Amino acid sequence: MNWFTNGGLMEKIAVLSGDRGKRWLKWLENMSGKGWKMQHQYYQYIGSKKVGKVWWRKILIFWVLAWVMGSLWIFWCMNSQVFEKRKETLASMCDERARMLQDQFNVSMNHIQALSILISTFHHGKNPSAIDQTTFARYTERTTFERPLTSGVAYAVKVLHSEREEFEKQQGWTIKRMDKLEQTPVQDAEVLEQSPLQEEYAPVIFAQETISHVISLDMLSGKEDRDNVLRARASGKGVLTAPFRLFKSNRLGVILTFAVYKVELPSNATPNERIQATDGYLGGVFDIESLVEKLLHQLASKQTIFVNVFDTTNPSHPISMYGSNVTDDGMSHISTLNFGDPFRKHEMCCRFKQKPPWPWLAITTSIGILVIAMLVGYIFYATVNRIAKVEEDYRKMMELKKMAEAADIAKSQFLATVSHEIRTPMNGVLGMLQMLMDTDLDITQQDYVRTAQGSGRALVSLINEVLDQARIESGKLELEAVRFDLRIILDDVLSLFYAKSQKKGIELAVYISDQVPDILIGDPGRFRQIITNLMGNSIK
């Protein structure tokens, strides 16, 4: 198109054709303007496509980010479920051990309380007493199976200061201080200091063979025991001491103390009434470490957790009764222990021995979902790109088609215009030649004129064929509907090919049925052209 508008051909057409050439040049300029307008619309279309691609890209990025967050959320949920299940398992195991420890402790506590009633009945209720050290030691040793958690029991009698001298003569030993026992070896208990003067004493007179070294010790002279003894007789319930190191085994233990009364007291008795009715104090020594170890040994097949037992009476300074002091930041569970003493608080802390395994199910599930989402996103991305490419190819093909059609139309119009411009002067030339034939010419001149007329007619025929071809391609070929004589047209065609047929020895004849009317309605020019082409091809 630029060649038409900018090249030398336009100048030649303008020079050769005059005003017609100028009109042709103006028409081409209009076509060029339409082309530039189409190009501008094309760039607008490309811009809208770019905007669409940006939105598709944003949607794809949002899809990817959403599924990444979704996968992380799925992983968190599944991992939380695993964590909660592991936590529930730990809580169940810890509560089971705490319940078993508490039940066994309560059983032993009930037997110690029953033993206090036995002492009240057969020692203070009989005169003379039916129990002595030998009897007590044998009985407690033979009934150890009823108190599997205790390492020994002992009984301390209540002695007033006014009764001390007579009591010591009767027993054959002096009352010793308990708070000095830790500083003196057990083998040298005879050299322990005597208990200081005070209003009341609580010397041990009966003891199980395993703790017989505590006989003659004053329970009220001990730093840890005095408050517990006084609290036991005032409350009428079992009272526990703080954890301490046992004398022989050096293991952590506690002492459970029950008061022994002269008579059976009602449950609503006042503290003063209980103090006045007190005859003595029965204590049971519990080896907490051995106790917990036996319990865990019973659950050896389930031994997958660490167990720690604490005295939390003072929350700011808990006392470890069993287990290591190693602490970690892993999962733990605390179960409350109730040993019958409302004053003292105890807890069991449990944690797994091994770290939790990797949550492979959560990891594989979340990664699998993420991979599937990425594949869907990739398919979506590839599909969008494929559609965009197909649309782009289709758009380019349509543009090329439009350009080709526009070029064909321009070519056809150009050929039609040029053919028309050439045919007009040729008709004039043929007219002049015909007029020349009507003058007096010799044979040679007539031959020249006929040759010129034949060449002119051939050129006009060629131009008409080119023009018809252009009209057919542009879709603007129009047929006339006029009256014409079929026989005259056929005679003209026969006369046109008469010379050629004679040279080749061919005889031409036309047969027309009588049923064909003389005058027909149609396009005589196109009919003549068709018959001429058929005849020409046949003769060739």
Mean pLDDT value across the chain = 80
Report whether pLDDT(205) > 90.
yes
d(CA 140, CA 282): 12
CA end-to-end distance (rounded Å), the chain: 40
416 against 39, higher pLDDT = 416
Q: Where on the phi/psi map is residue 152: left (φ > 0), alpha (ψ -120 to 50), or beta?
A: left
Give 19's pLDDT tier (boundaries 50, 70, 90): low
Per-residue pLDDT, 440:
86
Confirm if 419 and 26 have CB atoms less than 8 A apart.
no
d(CA 227, CA 229): 6
Report whether pLDDT(479) > 50.
yes
User: What kind of fold does domain 479-540 have according to CATH?
Assistant: Heat Shock Protein 90 (3.30.565)
Per-residue pLDDT, 536:
83
Mean pLDDT of 511-520: 88
Give 186's pLDDT tier (boundaries 50, 70, 90): very low
Domains 132-352 and 479-540 share a fold: no
Helix, strand or coil, per DSSP, at residue 314: coil
Give 4's pLDDT tier (boundaries 50, 70, 90): very low
d(CA 414, CA 24): 8
Tokens, residue 236: 């009428």
d(CA 281, CA 337): 25
Helix, strand or coil, per DSSP, at residue 337: strand
d(CA 230, CA 326): 36
Per-residue pLDDT, 398:
93
433 HSE (CA, 13 A, CB side): 19
Q: What percent of the chain has pLDDT over 70?
A: 84
Q: What percent of the chain has pLDDT over 90?
A: 12
Report whether pLDDT(462) > 90.
no
pLDDT digits (tens, 9 = 90+) for 350-390: 888 878 788 888 888 888 888 988 898 888 888 888 888 89
CATH class of 132-352: alpha beta
Tokens, residue 346: 């105890």
Contacts with 116 (C-beta within 8 Å, 6 or more apart), sequence order:
258, 259, 260, 282
Using a 10 angstrom Cβ sphere, with 0-12 exposed, 13-18 middle and 19 or more buried, the burial of residue 69 is exposed
Helix, strand or coil, per DSSP, at residue 133: helix
Report whether pLDDT(530) > 90.
no
* Cis amide bond preceding 196, omega within 30: no
Per-residue pLDDT, 212:
86
Q: 8-22, 110-124, 147-161, 210-224: lowest mean pLDDT where?
A: 8-22
d(CA 385, CA 383): 5
477 against 146, higher pLDDT = 146
For the chain, the structural domain boundaries read 132-352, 479-540
Report whether pLDDT(304) > 80.
no
The answer to whether the predicted template modeling score (pTM) of the entire model surpasses 0.75 is no
d(CA 450, CA 443): 10
pLDDT digits (tens, 9 = 90+) for 125-160: 888 888 999 999 999 999 888 887 788 899 999 999
